[in-house]
Structure 1
Amino acid sequence: MTREQATLARLEQSIDARFLALGERELITDLLAAGALVREIARRLHRAPSTISREVRRNAPVQSPYGAYRAQRAAVARRERPKPRKLDTKPRLRAYVIDKLSLRWSPEQICHAMEQEFPGDTEMRLTHETIYQALYVQARGSLRKEIAAAVRTCRTHRKPHRLPGERTPRFTDGMIMISDRPAEVEDRAVPGHWEGDLIVGAANGSAIGTLVERSSRYLMLVHLPGGQHDSETVAKALTATISTLPAHLRGSLTWDQGAEMARHKSFTMATDMPVYFCDPASPWQRGSNENTNGLLRQYFPKGTALSVFGPEELEHVAQELNGRPRKTLGWENPAERFSSYIKL
């Protein structure tokens, strides 16, 4: 074995199994010389036929037979890292990208524009991912500030995007999603199913809990001592409020995925009332509650401290809203409709 062959053999030991090894390339050489076809070689090596055909196409010079050691040298050279970056080695391409970034173009817009402006120039080709890599991955130190000025979002780090099924679980206790909510809740035919949320005060420093019964639109306001809205305070306050209802009006509660509901399991155990969670960024799934929260801003304007309102004041506001006639109820008011449910 020559010195070069010994070096290639040592390199082979550190190569990932998904890459062809020197021994496999030697077998390819022998089988090709024996007249074997690509599919037969692939079967012998337990590789995909496309892997073999690509290997031969890339590493066999024109009018020359495939050679194992020549192919191994080429493969090792291609794997060398770090490779010179395209934006570093092509000044014209780099200048074009920098110019368009200064105009607040997105990387994808830049790449499409290059195809239009330089249709026959293969040197002026780039993927938008290469630009993002140059901006977010390869940039270091003070260059981070330059990125913020060049990118329209002004971010210096990439924002991960996940599909709904890939999201990190919001709470330790598993959530029951709104898609699993019974049909009787959806059509509002059965009373006792509620939607809930918080309205928050200035600087997110205080809050009031809101509960709306889906069928009657009846409102209950939940006083949170001192305006605190951590999960323990919210769970205790919701439990105390719901416990004032008769059992047949404690059907379910639908909430968004706010951190204040982290103790939803303890609430369910105390009230025997399941909690269903809306999908992220889907306020319409609690439409009655969202509409009511908008009405409540007449009494609790945004930017005010909500901790100054005591239980009596909250009860007064709830009575006013529950006394308003509603078109959706045939001009009956929520208090009248809800009273009829209590007598059931």
Structure 2
Amino acid sequence: AIYQALYIEGRGALRRELTTALRTGRALRVPRARAKRGKSFLSAEVMIAARPAEANDRAVPGHWEGDLILGLGGVAIGTLVERTTRFTMLLHRSPMDEHKMIGAQVKNGPATAGHGADAVCDAIARTITGLPATLRKSLTWDQGAEMAQHARLRIQTGLPIYFADPHSPWQRPSNENTNGLLRQYFPKGTDFTRYALVDLDGVAKTLNERPRKTLGFKTPAEAMNELLLTASTGVATTG
């Protein structure tokens, strides 16, 4: 109701002074109902309906949500958020030699979606394999073409991959909320080629040291450290 009231003027557009105050900078609402298009790399076995029930209530750690944040020229960074702790990791991708964006398409030019999928797959593998196996239970992504190599990623990491239904961001709520917070640091139009891995790690550290009410005012870093300690000792911690 609040958004309906804000967007009602100007045929669905916010006044300019209100638009500048939005974290996302989105001046127009995006209709939820759209035509659904299937992806050739998807099957019923990898859809979110097949994800283990334990991932839904957040009681069992190790289930992740992921997405891309697009910047200037289509260059993107990846985000991974653990559902139980809300711990965030950012994926750094060096621009491709021939094409500077994931899934970039030039009219009558070479197909580049495969290169984008390979780059995303490699970035996830590098990041996720640094975690104990107990914290690598599943990854839920949207249906973007950047995950066309999900089968290879599963073989490399042992991480089951699942896909949300089309146009259903609420099925990845932790990731969507985190991406909104990240827009404070990376507004729309950000040139991600200017950022090195150390820069992204710094932003992730800032988010992970932010106390969360949903965690009893612990930080995601504290919650994750407790899980890592439990994984290494086999003894549950309290506090």
TM-score normalized with structure 1 length = 0.50
Higher helix share: 1
Whether the 8 Å contact between 1:173 and 1:265 is mirrored in structure 2 is no
Greater RCO (CA < 8 Å, at least 6 residues apart): 2
| Aligned twin of 2:210 | 324
> d(CA) in 2 for partners of 1:315 and 1:252?
22
For residue 307 of structure 1, report the CA deviation from its aligned partner.
1.6
Displacement over 4 Å in runs of 4+ = none
For residue 343 of structure 1, report the CA deviation from its aligned partner.
1.3
For residue 313 of structure 1, report the CA deviation from its aligned partner.
0.3
One-letter code aligned to 2:161: V
Q: Is 1:245 equivalent to 2:114 in the alignment?
A: no
One-letter code aligned to 1:200: L
The DSSP-based 3-state class of the residue aligned with 1:303 is: coil
Whether the 8 Å contact between 1:217 and 1:288 is mirrored in structure 2 is yes
| Aligned twin of 1:179 | 49
> d(CA) in 1 for partners of 2:49 and 2:41?
20
Aligned partner of 1:225 among 89, 94, 99: 94
Whether the 8 Å contact between 2:65 and 2:172 is mirrored in structure 1 is yes
| Aligned twin of 1:197 | 67
Whose Rg is larger?
A: 1
| Aligned twin of 1:216 | 85
Query: Identity over aligned residues, as a percent?
Result: 54
For residue 308 of structure 1, report the CA deviation from its aligned partner.
1.1
Q: Deviations over 1:41-89 (max 9, x none)?
A: xxxxxxxxxxxxxxxxxxxxxxxxxxxxxxxxxxxxxxxxxxxxxxxxx
For residue 256 of structure 1, report the CA deviation from its aligned partner.
0.2
Whether the 8 Å contact between 2:139 and 2:162 is mirrored in structure 1 is yes
> d(CA) in 2 for partners of 1:202 and 1:307?
9
One-letter code aligned to 2:57: D
The DSSP-based 3-state class of the residue aligned with 1:212 is: strand
Gaps of 5+ in 2: 1-33, 103-115, 231-239
One-letter code aligned to 1:212: V
> d(CA) in 2 for partners of 1:327 and 1:316?
22
> d(CA) in 1 for partners of 2:208 and 2:125?
21
How many residues are matched? Answer: 179
Whether the 8 Å contact between 2:128 and 2:136 is mirrored in structure 1 is yes
TM-score normalized with structure 2 length = 0.72
For residue 278 of structure 1, report the CA deviation from its aligned partner.
0.3
> d(CA) in 2 for partners of 1:228 and 1:203?
7
